[in-house]
Amino acid sequence: MAKALLRVLDRLEEWFIAALIAGATLIIFVAVLHRYALDLSAKFHFDRVYDTLFQINLGWAQELCIYMFVWMAKFGAAYGVRTGVHVGVDVLVNHLPPRGRFTSILVGLLSGALFTAVVGTFGANFVWTLAHTDQSSPDLEVPMWIVYLAIPLGSYLMCFRFLQVAWGFFRTGDLPHHDVSHVEGVDPAAAPDLTLQPQPQGAR
């Protein structure tokens, strides 16, 4: 049951991040295209086209994309902990004896969980205070507590991922590792061998 719930959480996390990336990219593309078309219609005196485009207000697009990237960064950080894509300097740790390496990695993971839990708690208190005000965003005019909700949600999810990785490392001694040469959906056994082969002498 727990494994099934974790798989559901993993898929929701991935789909949420992917949706934010796709949505922000589409909004930016439409906003830039609209601005470019508006400039061209004014330059070549296409008055009717200019009037039509001028009535379309996309002033909110930049603000929305900023908020989407903030949410993407918070949840993407939690995804990075789960998959092991965060950059880490482990030169000193790898030169420690096995028991020292095990202890230092576990302490580092638990420290990450503590830090993100503290950030999430302060963020939750801030959101709670902000929710009792009338503060809203300039363009979208949405309550700002909704925007800042990314801080506690993303931080608590990241804290959970740190604890998840720490528990797995405590049980098995393995950490999540991201293979930069791996492409999702491609079978490594079926991939062509692109390594350079030595040619016989005299071959051109």
Question: 161, 165, 166, 129: which is closest to 148 by C-alpha?
Answer: 129
Provide CB contacts within 8 A for 134, sequence distance 6+. Answer: none
Integer Cα distance of 106 and 172 in angstroms: 12
For 3-58, what is each residue's pLDDT tens digit?
899 999 999 999 999 999 999 999 999 999 999 999 999 988 888 998 999 899 99
Report pLDDT for 1. 78
Q: What is the pTM of this model?
A: 0.83
For 178-188, what is each residue's pLDDT tens digit?
665 655 666 66
For 154-173, what is each residue's pLDDT tens digit?
999 999 999 999 999 999 99
In this model, does residue 94 exceed pLDDT 90? no
